[in-house]
Amino acid sequence: MNGLTSHDNDILTSSHTRRRVLTGALAGIGSGVLLAAAGPAMAAEAIGPGKGRTAGEAAMRNAGAGMHVGPDTAMGVSTFTIGANSVSCGVGSFGNSPGAVPGTAGLPTGLGTTGAFAMLMYATKIDSFKVDTANRQLIAAGSMRSITTAGNQTIEDVVHPFVAVGQDNRKTTPDVFHLHFLTPFWTPASNPMASPSDLKQGWAMFGSNILLGEINVS
């Protein structure tokens, strides 16, 4: 009645079954396995939606760490840190294990390609770090190294100036992280993938509302 042969129906049924099995497996990993592993730790200290730092703990005081995603990172989930001694930002697509792409079969585990796109940025020198308690902001400026790759090719590896801004919204709205910078490749005037900075004319910008993590200003 539907114009499909019995063989076609068998293929469709098999495909649907495989998808259900895969979905079930992923759901099992994402819920059952992870929740089972995290259960004891969650029972010991349930942090919930608030801040991770409690009174007397200095690690996340006037600092931030987390993840964000948006068009500026080609919808890739990006990690970041901001503090007096460290500022970083990293984003990438799925990597390939050795042998998954031509020319990588001889590589040891962990040294496959970085996927279609990956970028790592980290401060090599922090010239200034300001804690603006009135506006609940952290502002760091200095020099950082940026490494941009596509597949197994390095597109750019340079040192450049940066300004990083972390906004602590005290749980009223999501905290926000933005990294403003300029490199020969990441130049909005010549690279349509580079989001223009709203802080520095002609610079590029990564960042948005934080998905996971926090900015703490105190």
Per-residue pLDDT band at 113 (split at 50, 70, 90): low
> Three-state SS for 41?
helix
The pLDDT-based confidence of 121 (bands split at 50, 70, 90) is very high
Q: For residue range 36-89, what is the model confidence (pLDDT) as tens digits?
A: 444 555 455 555 545 665 555 667 889 999 998 766 666 667 899 999 999 999
Kindly state whether residues 15 and 75 are assigned to the same domain: no
Are 117 and 185 within one domain?
yes
Is residue 55 in some structural domain?
no
| Statement to judge: residues 139 and 199 lie in one domain | yes
Res. 141 pLDDT band, cuts 50 70 90 = very high
For the residues 116-141, what does the mean pLDDT come to? Answer: 94
Q: Is residue 56, in this structure, part of any structural domain at all?
A: no
- Structural domains in the chain (count): 2
Specify if 19 maps to a domain: yes
Do 72 and 25 lie in one domain? The reply is: no
Indicate whether 151 pLDDT > 60. Answer: yes
> For residue 53, is it within any domain?
no
Spatial distance between the Cα atoms of 196 and 188, rounded to a whole number of angstroms: 6
Question: Chain-wide mean pLDDT for the chain?
Answer: 76
DSSP 66-134: EEE-SGGGTT--EEEEESSS-EEEEEE-----TTSSTT-TTSPTT-S---S-EEEEEEEEEEEEEEETT
Question: Is the per-residue pLDDT at 93 higher than 50?
Answer: yes
CA separation for the pair 207, 190 (Å, rounded): 20
Same domain, 189 and 102: yes
| pLDDT, position 115 | 65
**Whole domain around residue 189: which residue ranges?**
63-216
The pTM of the full predicted model, rounded to 2 decimals, is 0.71
